[in-house]
Amino acid sequence: MPLIFITGGVRSGKSHFAEKMAIAHYYTESMQAQRLVYIASGIALDHEMEKRIQRHQADRQSQGIQWLTIEAPYKMADSLQGLRDGDVVLWDCVTTWLTNAFYEGFDKGKSCVEQPGCLEKKLSDLKIAVQSLLNKKITLIVVSNELFDEPPYLNEEVELYRQMLGNFHQWFVSMAAEAYEVNYSIVKKWK
């Protein structure tokens, strides 16, 4: 399985680049490709996020290609386990999923970040699921946000998030066949 990791700032063009790459892989592998899969981690909790989700959906529909969309705001490992040989998969995005993981359970009184070992278990389960794909004939394109150009935050929770995300990015890049950074729609291939 080729794993391709793409990062960049908010509204940098990384999702558009990732979608074009997924479509190119789908057509290149058309003799073997079964499905073009979009795994979405976003939840429309406010008007701005609702607009962003709608924009991403409209972008995919305007391409005239049938995407299978899997909504996976929380159970990403389960979603990855349901993939099949020949799938070309775009997961957008890691930062949204990690935010969801941090605060899952908040509505029940205690978020994951407040429960010892909860986040570590979620990350471990996800890494195992990604590693299990290495033996399948799946192209996995993973999108994330770059949040490391700013100075450290005084808020411990925000710093924990950035540290976990940074470590997760390093892990993804170590597993990836290719790694890209997108800024202002300019693509830099790092690996």
pLDDT for the residue numbered 106: 85
Residues 6+ apart with CB under 8 A from 142: 3, 4, 5, 6, 91, 93, 94, 172, 176
pLDDT for the residue numbered 134: 82
Q: Average pLDDT by consecutive 10-residue portion of the chain (191 residues)?
A: 90 91 81 80 66 61 76 88 90 92 88 93 93 88 85 81 92 96 93 94
pLDDT for the residue numbered 32: 59
Distance between the two ends of the chain, CA-based, in angstroms? 16
For the domain that residue 131 is a member of, what is the CATH number? Answer: 3.40.50.300
- Residue ranges making up the domain that contains 144: 3-189
pLDDT for the residue numbered 155: 83
Q: Measured on CA atoms in the order 142, 139, 50, 54, is the torsion positive or negative?
A: positive
Domain tally, the chain: 1
pLDDT for the residue numbered 166: 92
Does an H or E element contain 5, and which? strand 3-8
Rounded Cα–Cα distance for residues 165 and 98 (Å): 8
pLDDT for the residue numbered 188: 95
pLDDT for the residue numbered 21: 93
Residue type, 135: N
Q: Tell me how crowded residue 55 is: count the other CB atoms within 10 A of its CB.
A: 11
Structure pTM?
0.86
